[in-house]
């Protein structure tokens, strides 16, 4: 009974911390491109602050994982919220007040460090949950993004005039305040000993782990799905502006996109437990293909709405499915390096996608950009089918090969 209460309390702390972090991430994705366009000496650099956030995630994700393997989840999460969330939010706010584009990029880089640590909230949910609860714990933490889907765009819009002398600076000040709140919550996180690094544990080499079919598919699904989502999401505000849509309409679309990203998390864990990872991953690829199809049927508000909702749901199935699959390929001793390499690959591709979004949109156009995304989608589908065929005797979705409940 006591362990069950601790388990639920820990998951609740992680879910709320996820909400507070996601407000920061969604604010950057919604607003930093617009602010970058206002501050940048070159319009082509408008999305550079967003790419800098992703770069900050890339350079911090593996050190964050290894650091937390040594000192524990709680101390790592608090450090990320302090150096990334508070410092990044305050520096971004100051940069807008000073009118400095490059300082604003540095502020967003620090916010990427916040993301580099916070992305491990989902893995911490696995650490603190019993085997029967792990998939659902993972989904519940990811579902924190549903609340952030409302708060993030609202923060980007409503808090813009919070400080009259610093237009558009208020949302970044709010990010710093919410990171402080997250630190208060995370001090109460209690990770059981089984979820912390243990002395004397042995581990396989990364090369041995990386040759496992499940590792390959888990990383590919998470990386391709996230990179596609980030690229299309980053390009969307610019594409909609080019079509004459107002900022309120863009915010509306982004809000529904984020809902599509996280609302399915309430059931994704149960779907994985019932149908297995391969079916969920294949469904995710079909949804992402639907995004490309709808985007080529028209450029009305309804077309953007359907395309971005499909994009969000497809990302959820690939990302949560990939995360659940990854949790089955490593031991406790191997956790830090495996999770770190996984997120390093993911956010390296996300950073490239975010940086390329503006240029691809300019040179290819909205419709062609979406069609190009079909190539990595097909690669994920083929890899998933390969895994399925190679594990037909013991399906990946079985209790013996993945945390299913």
Instruction: Report pLDDT for 198.
Output: 53
CATH of 206-400, one of 1.20.1250.20, 3.30.450.40, 3.40.190.10, 3.40.50.1370: 1.20.1250.20
Per-chain mean pLDDT for the chain: 85
pLDDT of 19 above 80: yes
In this structure, which long-range contacts are made by residues 375-379, counting pairs with CB atoms below 8 Å and at least 24 apart in sequence? 376/224, 376/227, 376/228, 377/224, 377/228, 377/285, 377/288, 377/289, 377/292, 378/285, 379/220, 379/224
Q: 201 pLDDT band (50/70/90 cuts)? A: low
The string of pLDDT tens digits covering residues 130-157 is: 777 776 787 778 777 788 888 887 888 7
- What's the CA dihedral at 182, 183, 188, 189 to 10 degrees? 80
* Domain boundary assignment for the chain: 1-191, 206-400
pLDDT (0 to 100) of residue 187:
93
Each residue of 67-108: pLDDT tens digit? 888 888 899 999 999 999 999 999 999 999 999 999 999 999
Domains 1-191 and 206-400 share a fold: yes
Please give the pLDDT value at position 396: 44
Q: What is the CATH topology of the domain spanning 1-191?
A: Growth Hormone; Chain: A; (1.20.1250)
Say how far apart CA 152 and CA 232 lie, in whole Å: 18
Rg of the chain taking only CA atoms, in angstroms: 20
């Amino acid at each position: 009974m006591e362990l069950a209460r601790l388990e639920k309390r820990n998951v609740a702390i992680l879910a709320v911390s996820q909400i507070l972090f996601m407000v920061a991430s969604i604010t950057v994705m919604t607003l930093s491109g617009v602010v970058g366009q206002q501050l940048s000496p070159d319009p082509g650099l408008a999305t550079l602050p967003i790419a800098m956030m992703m770069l900050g995630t890339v350079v911090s994700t593996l050190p964050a994982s290894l650091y937390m393997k040594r000192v524990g989840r709680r101390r790592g999460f608090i450090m990320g919220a302090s150096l990334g969330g508070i410092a990044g939010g305050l520096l971004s706010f100051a940069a807008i007040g000073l009118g400095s584009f490059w300082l604003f990029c540095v502020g967003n880089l620090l916010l990427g460090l916040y993301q580099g640590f916070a992305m491990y909230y989902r893995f911490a949910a696995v650490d603190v949950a019993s085997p029967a609860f792990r998939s659902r714990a993972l989904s519940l933490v990811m579902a924190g993004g549903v609340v952030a889907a409302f708060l993030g765009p609202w923060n980007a819009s409503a808090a813009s005039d919070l400080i009259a002398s610093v237009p558009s600076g208020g949302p970044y000040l709010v990010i710093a305040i919410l990171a402080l709140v997250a630190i208060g919550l995370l001090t109460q996180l209690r990770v059981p000993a089984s979820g912390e690094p243990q002395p004397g544990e042995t581990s396989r080499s990364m090369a041995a782990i990386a040759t496992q079919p499940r590792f390959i598919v888990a990383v590919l699904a998470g990386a391709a799905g996230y990179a596609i989502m980030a690229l299309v999401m980053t390009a969307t505000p610019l594409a909609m502006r080019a079509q004459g849509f107002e900022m309120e309409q863009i915010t509306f679309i982004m809000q529904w996109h984020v809902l599509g990203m996280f609302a399915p998390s309430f059931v994704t864990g149960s779907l994985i437990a019932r149908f297995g990872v391969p079916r969920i991953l294949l469904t995710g690829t079909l949804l992402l293909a639907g995004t490309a199809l709808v985007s080529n049927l028209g450029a009305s508000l309804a077309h953007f709405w359907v395309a971005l909702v499909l994009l969000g749901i497809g990302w959820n199935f690939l990302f949560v499915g990939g995360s659940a699959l990854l949790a089955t390929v490593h031991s406790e001793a191997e956790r830090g390096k495996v999770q770190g390499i996984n997120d390093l690959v993911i956010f390296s591709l996300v950073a490239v996608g975010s940086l390329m979004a503006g240029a691809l949109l300019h040179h290819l156009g909205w419709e062609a950009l979406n069609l190009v995304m079909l190539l990595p989608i097909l690669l994920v589908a083929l890899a998933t089918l390969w895994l399925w065929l190679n594990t037909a005797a013991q399906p990946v979705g079985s209790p013996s090969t993945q945390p299913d409940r």
